[in-house]
A = this chain, B = another copy of it.
Amino acid sequence: MQSRTPSSPRTGRPRSAAADEAILEATRAALVELGWSKLTLGDVATRAGVAKTTLYRRWAGKNELVVDAVAVLFDELELPDRGSLAADIEGVVLQFAALLDRPETKTALMAVVAESTRDEPLRERIRTSIVDRQKRLVLEGRARAERRGELPAAPDPGTAAATADLIFDVAAGAVVHRTLVSAEPVDGEWVRRFTALLLGGLAAAAD
């Protein structure tokens, strides 16, 4: 999250470990209440019962803090075995949609992505903290489908990776667009239609 300079290894009062979690929790609460654009670091510090200095000692700014505060929520995503590839996909898409529907993520995710278009370190932080953790779900799903015999083994590693990336962009992008731009619900009906489209496309592409 943040690095201690290793120059002065252990002298003086150590940092409070409890403060970290209090700050992240306060950040999420402030996101829910105020939204991204009205969230201020001074307010977060007050909510966490912490001085502003403490906060700045640990995070470089609002973007980094919010990424950390929200990232942990994405670790809840799982890929439970529902017996078929279609069911697995539907399950994880619904989970993802539910996560995106929470007010803290809804207001924060697109905001930090927008910021990241002009801030390479921030983009990297988002990738490692959030995006790549979702991508594993695609890989895991594919592997499970191959074990079940629902999909043929990947012809070669390059194509497999490109396909995984494509699926990831399509699935995550579609859910995000439907939720935030179209502002329509991602319900069972929509998920079934989307999954049918995706699996149909994969099957056709495999020919």
Copies of this protein, total: 4
Contact with B along A157-175 (1 / 0, CB 8 A): 0000011011011101111
Among A179-207, those with CB < 8 Å from B are 180-184, 190, 193-194, 196-205
Smallest beta-carbon distance A111→chain B, Å: 4
Contact with B along A107-125 (1 / 0, CB 8 A): 1111101111110000100
Of A168, A176, A203, chain B has the most CB atoms within 10 Å of the CB of A176
User: Does A35 reach chain B (CB closer than 8 Å)?
Assistant: yes
Smallest beta-carbon distance A57→chain B, Å: 16
A37, closest chain B residue (CB): B115
Contacts of A131 in B (CB 8 A): 181-182
Judging by beta carbons under 8 Å apart, are B182 and A170 in contact? Answer: no
Smallest beta-carbon distance A49→chain B, Å: 15
Contact residue among B114, B127, B177 (Cβ-Cβ distance under 8 Å from A111): B114
Dominant SS among interface residues on chain A: helix
Judging by beta carbons under 8 Å apart, are A196 and B200 in contact? Answer: no
A63, closest chain B residue (CB): B37
Contacts of A201 in B (CB 8 A): 196-201, 204
User: Does A106 reach chain B (CB closer than 8 Å)?
Assistant: yes
A-B complex: 7 closest residue pairs judged by Cβ atoms:
A200-B204, A173-B177, A173-B173, A201-B201, A197-B201, A110-B114, A111-B114
Q: List 17 A-B contacts (CB under 8 A).
A: A35-B117, A110-B113, A127-B183, A131-B181, A165-B184, A166-B174, A166-B190, A169-B174, A169-B181, A170-B174, A173-B174, A173-B175, A196-B204, A197-B204, A198-B201, A199-B204, A203-B204
